[in-house]
Structure 1
Amino acid sequence: MNSKIAKDLVVKGLGVNVLLLTILGNLLWSSSAKAGFSGTLTIEVEGVKNKEGQVCASIFAKSQGFPNQRDRGLQRRCTKITDIPVKIIFENLPAGTYAVAVMHDQNKDMLLNRNSLGMPIEGFGFSRNPEVTNKPPKFQEAAIFLAGANTKISIQLKYF
């Protein structure tokens, strides 16, 4: 092989390696920057049929316990209903995937009350407003991705 061609290949190879190292460094920097990220999730709960009681929201970071086992949720907030839509804010959330379950707790007992057939008698809803028929949605059906400093979502309550 000609020494000039060999030298050109080494220089080009070096340039490719430098480019790859630059890209890799940028990726690593952006991942470490995201590790320290915290954002705010604002939930507007619409369709509240009256101002009795409170609206409670539970946020889950994984599928285990979603949506009924609030003790497995990441955070829970309840707020008295003064205005409709009701706003509930979760702060200092790391970037990631979450699902939210909301209920209109009319009697303030912290439970989604049900009739004798097991049907909810209080309003409920989920992030991404998935279709609900005879069972609650799966985590993936309600999952949202929080990546910005301020994320807003709207949840429409359902009443049976």
Structure 2
Amino acid sequence: MKKIILSILIIAISQLTFSQENCELVVKVENIKKIQGSLKIAVYDHHDHFLSKEIFGDDKLIKSDSVQFSFKGLGEGTYAVSIFHDVNDNGKLDSNFMGIPSEPYAFSNNAKGMFGPPSFEDCQFEIKDGLQKIVISL
């Protein structure tokens, strides 16, 4: 009896571990105005780390008016995404003398901020078992 219970427990734990890291996020960025530079993306999993400590990041050269990113190995949970178009490819989001970004940027849910970036809560979306696709308009 102990072997049966132990076997069931091991199977349950392995299934739980497998499903927690079995999700994929696909982000399609559309409406890119200038076909130059690169697109930088960051994925966040908690409001305390939003815009400061991403769990995944990537960048791609822009060759068309849309770019797609894929992130595998995510667990189920709540996430948010930020992107910016590094037009001059200098590795940073340029801003004007008042600190307002001068390069295009966007967030998941196409959230907009007032007097600053939107909150994590405005940008958040759920990932459940399997594939989650989102579209962001730049």
TM-score under structure 2 length normalisation: 0.83
Does the aligned pair in 1 maintain the 2:33–2:65 contact within 8 Å?
no
Residue-by-residue CA offset, 1:120-148 (whole Å, 9 max, x unaligned): 11110111111333210111110111113
1:49 aligns with 2:33: yes
Provide the rounded CA distance (Å) in 1 between the counterparts of 2:76 and 2:66.
26
Mapped contact 1:43–1:154 kept (Cα < 8 A): yes
Counterpart of 1:82 (choices 63, 70, 94) is 63
Kindly state the Cα deviation for residue 107 of structure 1 after the two structures are TM-superposed: 1.7
Q: Aligned equivalents of 2:63 and 2:16: distance in 1?
A: 36
Structure 1 residue runs without a partner (length 5+): 1-28
When Rg is computed on C-alpha atoms for both structures, the one with the higher figure is 1
Higher relative contact order (CA 8 A, sep 6+): 2
Match of 1:122 among 84, 98, 103: 103
Q: Report the secondary structure of 1:78's partner residue.
A: strand
Between stretches 129-138 and 44-53, larger displacement belongs to: 129-138
- How far residue 52 of structure 1 moved from its aligned partner, in angstroms, is 1.0
Contact 1:39 1:148 in 2 (8 A): yes
Q: Structure 1 vs Structure 2: percent identity of aligned residues?
A: 27
CA RMSD between the two structures:
1.8
Q: Which residue of 2 aligns with 1:4?
A: none
TM-score by length of 1: 0.72
- Tell me the CA shift for residue 92 of structure 1: 1.1
Which residue of structure 2 aligns with residue 137 of structure 1? 118
Instruction: Report Cα offsets for 1:17-69 as digits up to 9, x if no partner.
Output: xxxxxxxxxxxx5x9744422211111111211111101110001112312x2
State the one-letter code of the partner of 1:45: V
For structure 2, the residue ranges without an aligned partner over 5 or more in a row are 1-11
AA partner of residue 47 (structure 1) = N
User: 8 Å contact 1:35–1:94 — kept in the other structure?
Assistant: no
Separation (CA, whole Å) in 2 of partners of 1:46 and 1:92:
24
Count of aligned residue pairs for this structure pair = 126
2:18 counterpart residue number: 36
